[in-house]
């Protein structure tokens, strides 16, 4: 059941994974922002009445009124496959989110990022954000959720922070899994989602050789399972299940068990495994750009699940 047309601001919007979920749930996206023009072009092709401005969020000072603020700031140095540049400005984009939060003062906010933020050397950055948002006047909860537990055909763990303004009488609880063990519904598999797609879509996947680093991980899951995590770098996109199986030789060393054709996923397959509907349009940018936009996006069904418990706050 759609919510009332809640005015919403979306920051670091990318190609529109979170905002696709917002619109499907009835939210009114009054303003959006991203620094990458290709992502914004994809966004405009798919988000109804899109109002996205391209540019560094630090350069914007005036924002419309909104009851919900969402943001999925970039995460390269938090990621297990990230650049590990601890001085990178992308580590501190949460400060811009905090700045907008304090200006707009919405009833609630939702943040998504990679789960690597919650562990090891990144943990202090997570708590820096939580402290900031609490000092801004919000009750903040966080959790790591796996997309496969919410109907996405992909093993993708992401961290979510949800904040409720302190003067609002509402207690947010993260959603329970809808798929997998104990739910009565099996995981959605790769075969369910891409089984009927073309087997060899020339021009839509990266056909570079599989170098040693690529084969340092288990990049292939069989048809009857969700896929490995879809990433934004087209060189590291997982193997299609029609590829020969892999076996582990030793630490960080896998090889194919037999001869045969092997390939990475196409960008359209990555989009389907992210939970984007088939009608979503990917005409902007190069093929490589499309992989980046898709891999960096929030799976719409996962974001929908996080939004669901917020319904009653708008009544």
Q: Report which of 59, 49, 54, 20 is spatially closest to residue 37, judged by C-alpha positions.
A: 54
SS3 135: helix
What does the alpha-carbon distance between residue 111 and residue 212 come to, in Å, rounded to a whole number?
35
Q: Is the dihedral of CA 131, 136, 138, 143 positive or negative?
A: negative
The two structure tokens encoding residue 83: 């650049």
Q: Phi, psi at residue 54, to the nearest 5°? A: -95, 135
Task: Give CA 42 to chain center in angstroms.
Answer: 15
Given the structure tokens 């630090």, which residue do they identify?
58
Q: Which residues, at least 6 apart from 246, have a Cβ–Cβ distance to it below 8 Å?
A: 215, 218, 219, 220, 239, 254, 255, 256, 257
Task: Give CA 284 to chain center in angstroms.
Answer: 19
CA atoms in the 13 A half-sphere facing the CB of 95? 7
SS3 187: coil
Q: Which residues are catalytic?
A: 75
What does the alpha-carbon distance between residue 298 and residue 303 come to, in Å, rounded to a whole number?
7
Cα–Cα distances (Å) from 259 to 146, 224, 246, 266, in that order, read 33, 22, 11, 21
Cα–Cα distances (Å) from 262 to 134, 159, 217, 236, 272, in that order, read 49, 32, 15, 14, 20
Cα–Cα distances (Å) from 72 to 75, 94, 228, 313, in that order, read 9, 9, 21, 22
């Amino acid at each position: 059941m759609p919510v009332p047309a809640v005015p919403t601001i979306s920051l670091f919007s990318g190609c529109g994974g979170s905002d696709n979920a917002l619109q499907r749930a009835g939210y009114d996206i009054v303003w959006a922002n991203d620094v990458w023009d290709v992502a914004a072009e994809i966004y405009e092709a798919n988000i109804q009445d899109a109002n996205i401005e391209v540019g560094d969020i630090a350069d914007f000072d005036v924002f419309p009124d909104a009851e919900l603020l969402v943001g999925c700031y970039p995460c390269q140095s938090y990621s297990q496959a990230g650049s590990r540049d601890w001085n990178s400005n992308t580590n501190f984009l949460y400060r811009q989110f905090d700045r907008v939060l304090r200006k707009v003062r919405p009833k609630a906010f939702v943040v998504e990022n990679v789960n690597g933020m919650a562990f090891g050397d990144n943990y202090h950055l997570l708590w820096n954000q939580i402290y900031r948002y609490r000092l801004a006047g919000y009750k903040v909860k966080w959790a790591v959720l796996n997309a496969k537990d919410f109907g996405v055909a992909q093993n993708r763990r992401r961290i979510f922070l949800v904040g409720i303004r302190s003067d609002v009488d509402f207690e947010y609880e993260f959603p329970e899994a809808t798929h997998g063990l104990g739910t009565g519904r099996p995981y959605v598999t790769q075969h369910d989602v891409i089984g009927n797609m073309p087997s060899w879509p020339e021009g839509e996947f990266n056909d570079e050789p599989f170098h040693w680093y690529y084969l340092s991980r288990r990049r292939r899951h069989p048809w009857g399972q969700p896929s490995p995590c879809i990433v934004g770098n087209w060189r590291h996109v997982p193997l299609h299940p029609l590829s020969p199986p892999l076996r582990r030789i030793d630490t960080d060393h896998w090889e194919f068990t037999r001869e045969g054709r092997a390939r990475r996923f196409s960008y359209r397959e990555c989009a389907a495994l992210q939970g984007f509907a088939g009608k979503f349009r990917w005409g902007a940018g190069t093929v490589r750009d499309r992989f980046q936009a898709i891999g960096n996006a929030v799976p719409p069904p996962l974001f929908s699940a996080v939004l669901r418990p917020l319904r009653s706050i708008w009544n």
